[in-house]
Amino acid sequence: MVSGPDLKDGINIMKFNTVQGVDLSINAFKSLTAACILAGLLTACVTTTTGGFNVDTSDEQAVQDYIQLALAYYEADDMLGARRHVNNALAINPDHADTYNLLALISQREGDLDIAEQNFLRAIRLDRTNSRARNNYAALVFGLQRFEDAFEQLQVVANDIEYDGRAIAFENLGRSAERLGRESEAENAFTRALQLNSNLYVSALELSMLKLKRGDEIGARQNYQQYLTIVEFYKLPHTPRALLAGIQIGTRLNEQKMVDDFALILGTLYQESPEYQTYRSLSDAS
């Protein structure tokens, strides 16, 4: 669903794209495999269903295996199981950044935000190049409305050219910049996000609104059309925010059909929304 500047989805687990008990059933095994793919933290998944870990496996591989299992439990919303495997990993290596990143996510989901922050910071101290931990930490502090802290972390993440969630990091950097009133930096960040991934509909929408605000109606219309193309392809619903943006762009460009179409949807689906009230006020004023 199209969102406004709130960092939903974690800013991704990777997502956290973020930037994630295993009873060894088929469904659990699928969950484990999906967790490994989504998390992007690990090099291989556990494929054995008998016994413990190979005694010849290195400590590092054992830690990675436990993290994979913990991720599977985390994705299954079993925090006790996830924490058990995290503790197993910590027993082998108490200074592993990825382990503390996952422990922070577990604490965050359990509502222990102070503990989550401590674990994110510990992960970052242990590995200052760990962009996933920084990304997830940025999501936490954004949710706490500490937008400057989120912005600073995301600047580092977005500049990591090896990070597989870089496009989303730029998008989230733009959202943070918007909350701080840094519209030029927000526009630059959304532009970079779309350069890296042209399917980021939130970036396209936010960029169109920023351009409209500074008087670039043609640029706003182009980015809004990009947004429309993406949400139509993925069959995503419009939010009131997106519909109001379409109405405002259509009004500025005298595209009455566009205005009428989006006004009808807004009034039909979201009559109680603040955006609909804004639309009514604009209509009454004109």
| 8 A C-beta contact, residue 278 and residue 267 | no
- pTM to 2 decimals? 0.80
The rounded distance, in Å, linking the Cα atoms of 117 and 252 is: 45
- Which residue ranges in the chain fall short of pLDDT 50? 1-56
Give the CA count within 13 Å in the CB-facing half-sphere of 94: 1
Structure tokens at 164: 């597989």
Which pLDDT score, from 0 to 100, does residue 57 have? 60
| 8 A C-beta contact, residue 111 and residue 80 | no
Question: For 20-75, what is each residue's pLDDT tens digit?
Answer: 332 223 333 334 434 443 333 333 333 333 344 443 469 999 999 999 999 999 99
For 9-218, CATH number out of 1.10.510.10, 3.40.50.450, 3.20.20.70, 1.25.40.10 equals 1.25.40.10
What distances in angstroms separate CA 150 from CA 45, 70, 159, 187, one per listed residue? Answer: 31, 26, 14, 17
Question: For 189-200, what is each residue's pLDDT tens digit?
Answer: 999 999 999 999
